Amino acid sequence: MKNNLSIAELIKKNKQKHRTFASIREKTIPFLLFICAVVSIFTTLGIIFTLLFETITFFNRVEFIEFISSKEWLPFFKSDPSYGILPLISGTLVVAVIAMVVAIPLGLTTAIYLSEYASERTRRILKPMLEVLAGIPTIVYGFFALTFVTPFLQKFIPNLSFFNALSPGIVVGIMIIPMVASLSEDAMNAVPNSIREGALGLGATRFEVAIKVVLPAALSGIIASFVLAISRAIGETMIVTIAGGATPTLAFDVTNSIQTMTAYIVQVSLGDATYGSTVYYSIYAVGMTLFIFTLIMNLLAQFISKKFREAY
């Protein structure tokens, strides 16, 4: 009887230890998550305030009207520098548009196949292979664009410059295909199978079900993936820096050298400008412009996702 009591007491103590550990864990984990959230918020605020203060310093030296309206970006001219952001914006948008022309059809087609046609075994094989593209360093993509894509395109476009907008645009599109495909497939997989079965029961083919039923039902998630992919293309750095060149121009010519906002930031960050100079502060003004573009795209993605979301 004494041994039984000892065993019972031992079990009771063990349960108390487990309760104590569970209680500590339940109190500690929310606190750690709160700390992570606070760190994320303060990091974002630190980035915003850094950009804001340095941008204000830049606009104390350069008029805001010149920054947003001038068609020339010549910050390194000593006699008469010009700080018009439009050439950098045009170069950024040209690359982003080319990238989306590549990524949207290929990514959406891949998502439709993986969601509606591929077997479970095929999906388990193809999806990780596709997502390998997202893990390749962007500098590798940049050299791929410069040493392979550009020479290949020059065989068909003889007047294509060694540095151009077309080659990095195509490669940026290839890079963001996994983002479009993965997010679009997740949106399509969220559509209930009962909707598919109902359409098939009415005599629709699998292609008609995919195009006329599943795609409209998953439209919010698909469009959100497009917008996020555009945001990623706008913020791409190394590919356009290596293969795009460093010639800011407002002409929308994909065969000639361009310069994007991110490429300019890299150029100045390499030491082409002294600390405290107007050129130095210009990278913060460009960075703030890029930040605003990215913020608008993310807000647009959230708005579209809420606006067209289907509830099942």
* Shared domain check, 126 and 46: no
Which of 60, 82, 107 is the endpoint of a domain?
60
* Shared domain check, 125 and 224: yes
pLDDT at 98: 94
Residues 154, 178, 131, 296: is their CA dihedral positive or negative?
positive
In whole angstroms, what is the distance from residue 146 CA to residue 142 CA? 6
* Shared domain check, 195 and 53: no
Establish if 228 belongs to a structural domain: yes
Q: Over the Cα atoms of the chain, what is R_g?
A: 26
* Shared domain check, 141 and 34: no
User: Average pLDDT, stretch 261-286?
Assistant: 86
Which of 12, 29, 60 is the endpoint of a domain?
60
Domain that holds residue 55: 2-60
**What is the value of pTM for the model shown?**
0.84
* Shared domain check, 153 and 282: yes
Establish if 65 belongs to a structural domain: no
* Number of separate domains in the chain: 2
Q: Which residues lie below 8 Å from residue 284, measured CB to CB, with a gap of 6+?
A: 50, 51, 54, 55, 57, 58
CATH of the domain at 170: 1.10.3720.10
User: Average pLDDT, stretch 276-290?
Assistant: 89
- Nearest residue to 236 (alpha-carbon basis) of 161, 165, 131, 153: 165
* Shared domain check, 251 and 115: yes
Does the structure show a pLDDT above 90 at 268?
Answer: no
- Name the residue with tokens 């170069």: 91
Position 16 confidence tier, pLDDT thresholds 50, 70, 90: low
* Shared domain check, 234 and 192: yes
* Shared domain check, 42 and 100: no
What percentage of the chain carries pLDDT values higher than 90? 25
Establish if 67 belongs to a structural domain: no
